[in-house]
Structure 1
Amino acid sequence: MLHKQFYVFDEDIPAKIVIRNYGKDDIGQLIAIQKESFPPPFPSELWWNETQLENHISFFQEGALCAELGGKIIGSMTSLIVDFTEEKPEHTWESITDNGYIHNHKKDGNTLYVVDICVSPAYRKLGIGKWLMQSMYETVVHLNLDRLLGGGRIPGFHKQPEHMSVEEYIEAVLSGELRDPVMTFLLRCGRTPLTAVENYLDDEESRHYGVLMEWRNPFKHSTSGNS
């Protein structure tokens, strides 16, 4: 199980952060962070519920992380293990995460898949999301998996002309011509775009696309086409 402590800086003031696996005693705080992070008009039924969080803990606690400051949980990140092949990348968030319930967690899979990352708005300037992502990379290495993978929203896409393709949008972000709130954050975390998936989420801002972005395990060199 993961448990680490380090300092982040609030301007010039160091603050000690703990990143660890969350447990049942943390469920109330985790739901509260969802409410803070995704206020109305975000639908409340999409916040984590107790059953989902209990499943994360019982099925795959190694993939259930939280960030803590002064004993208060300020962020979380959840994952499951799946089998993924680049030849068949099409899926939806609901199908690959079992709508967040992760009954389909596969212990012998090859890929750590991001279900969710969430940081309380008051603490986002501390870089907590990036540190949670780094901790998931460490989990990939610890479990000897091929990669970390997840579908990122591209909420800036709807602001572009209708004739712009999703591939053109991705290239514009990669060239620095455009900045996307989610994709740019994931790039800063070390993730690399793999492909765009249509109808990944019911998400008008992203025109219902998700961009699969990966981090490959640098300690695992496989010649398999499924890696």
Structure 2
Amino acid sequence: MNQSIVSSTAPITLIGGADPAADVLTVALKWGKTVACADGGANHALWAELNPVAVIGDMDSISDAARDAYSDVLHPITEQDSTDFDKALRHINAPLILGVGFSGARLDHELGSMTVLVRHPDRRCILIGGDTITLLCPPKITLDLPMGSAVSLYPMADVGCDSAGLRWPTTGLRFAPDSRVGTLNKVDGMVTLRPDAPKMLLILPRAALDVTIAALLQDDARWPVRA
């Protein structure tokens, strides 16, 4: 078990090093008023005149100005076997983490961030991009979304997912990244998803953020710490 650097009973905004879309940070701060940064995310926090409670990472991307401004909340983790997002996520204890600056830049970085979501299934985290949000689907989630809006399920390993309210039902199907994926589905009613393992990414339009946050905070069903 990783020792917490940041603990909160309310959602937290975690800022990464990729330049977030113009209003993404504002949207995240509406829900997560406490701010933490993963390494170079401190540069964006400084520009936005924010006061993070912690800057976590190997400190190879933080500017000198941000290093000086946040010197009293730096938490260097020098190992190079994980990304700064991984280092930050595993040391934050909160009901929900809203990640900005982890998507929409280099594809390899974005894929790495999605891998971290699966690596730490006990950490509830939504990555907010310019157009979409991405999260590890919890054991159960119910979403009241507009009819016809997009719902994509992307498996990171072999996984099944019972569903209701999707135009193309997924119950009884097996998914895997090298065979069947569940992208480009649509809402056909009240959506309920029940994956059978912490291996399914849920990708929704960014307009679904408030509904998704409310659903996660209302139902505390979550995956256990990965063995």
The two structures have a TM-score, normalised by structure 2, of 0.32
> Greater strand percent: which structure?
2
**Bigger fraction of residues in helix:** 1
Alignment TM-score, normalising by the size of structure 1 = 0.32
